[in-house]
A and B are shown apart, each in its own frame.
Chain A
């Protein structure tokens, strides 16, 4: 039998599935050039090819596919935000995520667990009430729960950590997780199948600008003419925007996270506490993922620091005391493009044919599908979809921020 299997593997009958076509030379011109081959860039390419019929598209990635923040986030999917703009946008994303495995015919390991956020103060309880109502109003499944219900959901949780007893919880049933790499691979595979060219190790170094148009991008593999350009380079958004002299409020901070050795399943929901600056979840592989707030000062670096790791773990152990004996397996950092209102910067730029997909701070992964869909619509039609209109860069010069700080900071 094993020999037969081996023979079959090497025979011509064996169905070889090519995920990505082999790299080829860059064409002279593309209708759409997408800078950044992470989840967002690949999703934009996919929705352009599948729903907008635009296939003369190049995705340029300076390193390898999905190797930036797509690989570094903690894979939390949720929509329990505070503003109506935020809730509407992220809810659509959650809906798209649910069907992605089917759409790709590729398992992204989407797993609906529910997300539990803990309130340790009366002020947080009030904010949670508001978030629960806003969420319900827009069709989300979110409710307030008490200590007894929390205990039932997460029996191993310490409800009285030090000086911060848990008062109530925000239970968001739509909360979920998925395999982040698979999301990028699924989009890449399906986009490539429809004719999108994906070029790795291709770095955009400069732009050619004619009046108010970006006419070409200069890469380390030569210059390419373009109909329009989309930038989706989380972590280095400012560096590209600075080349075009686009002013933005983005500031780049490292965000550190870590993962433990694998355990038997014991923690179903994603648990987070903004007062303890910590969130904890168990992946489908059994590892415990720990995440917290961004570093205290800006930096373009993915280095890790012991002091942040220590304070994050001290808080995690307050929540789950038995984890004191857990061994860590990996730790890493990503670069987050933070905005002052904790909402993204999407849509038009001061240039006619240059589109921004930036300012994704610590909330980019969960928006991958909806961001790809709406940005593709913008690129194809030239009109900003209503869903992302509030997130335009120009909101800052109009003093119309979309404040999601309370619903975002350290609760991803």
Chain B
């Protein structure tokens, strides 16, 4: 069976892993347009070549990022998401952003 290297558990059978989708940037749901949100939710790059994607080692529920070639099926590198997501996400700003457009909208309606 094909093997994949989990950054936490080492080399394991591919059947122990779940594919989690392309790594993509999430727009701010409070400020983006419906179209931009639909693009984020549905659309894929579906690249033929080297891509970054989310994977999970199912038995340990551990999510990580893999660099994989989507034509040759080579697993090039797997790493902990901390390599990319190394800053704490603050939601306070989002709350402010949420409030502003709504009040503006209401103002415009009135």
Contact = CB atoms under 8 A, between A and B. Distances in A.
A303 B70 contact: no
A404 to B, nearest CB: 16
B35 A301 contact: no
A107 interface: no
Contacts, number: 56
B70 A340 contact: no
Interface in B40-90: 42-48, 70-73
B70 A300 contact: yes
B38 A300 contact: no
A307 interface: yes
B18 interface: yes
Contacts of A301: 71-73
A228 B14 CA distance: 44
A298 B1 contact: no
Interface stretch (A81-89, A184-192, A245-253, A346-354): A245-253
B70 A249 contact: no
B46 A396 contact: no
Contacts of B48: 236, 238-239, 300
Nearest to A238: B46
Contacts of B72: 301
B2 interface: yes
A252 B46 contact: yes
**Looking at A239, A251, A398, which has the most chain B CB atoms within 10 Å of its CB?**
A251
B39 interface: yes
A248 B44 contact: yes
A239 B42 CA distance: 17
B44 A251 contact: yes
Interface in A301-323: 301, 303, 305-307
B45 A242 contact: yes
Contacts of B39: 247, 397
A312 to B, nearest CB: 14
Interface residues of B, number: 21
A248 B41 CA distance: 11
What DSSP secondary structure best describes chain A's contact surface? loop
A247 B18 CA distance: 25
B32 to A, nearest CB: 13
B71 A396 contact: no
B46 A303 contact: no
B19 A340 contact: no
Contacts of B35: 397
A299 B70 CA distance: 5
A297 B19 contact: yes
A216 B23 CA distance: 34
B69 to A, nearest CB: 9
Given A298-B70, A397-B35, A250 B46 contact: yes
A62 B84 CA distance: 40
Contacts of A306: 1
A399 interface: yes
A296 interface: yes
B15 interface: yes
B42 A307 contact: no
A238 B46 CA distance: 6
| Centre residue among B1, B38, B39 by max chain A CB count within 10 A | B38
B42 A296 contact: no
A250 B44 contact: yes
Contacts of B71: 299-301
Given A305-B2, A399-B38, A251 B46 contact: yes
Given A239-B48, A298-B19, A396 B42 contact: yes
28 contacts: A238-B48, A239-B48, A248-B44, A248-B46, A249-B42, A249-B43, A250-B44, A251-B44, A251-B46, A252-B46, A296-B19, A298-B19, A298-B46, A298-B70, A300-B48, A301-B71, A301-B72, A301-B73, A303-B73, A305-B2, A306-B1, A307-B14, A396-B38, A396-B43, A397-B34, A397-B38, A397-B39, A398-B38
Given A242-B47, A307-B2, 19 more contacts: A238-B45, A239-B48, A247-B39, A247-B43, A249-B42, A249-B43, A250-B44, A296-B18, A298-B19, A300-B70, A300-B71, A301-B72, A301-B73, A306-B1, A396-B43, A397-B35, A397-B38, A397-B39, A398-B38
Q: Report, nearest first, the 7 A-B pairs whose CB atoms are least far apart.
A: A297-B19, A238-B46, A249-B42, A396-B42, A247-B43, A397-B38, A300-B48
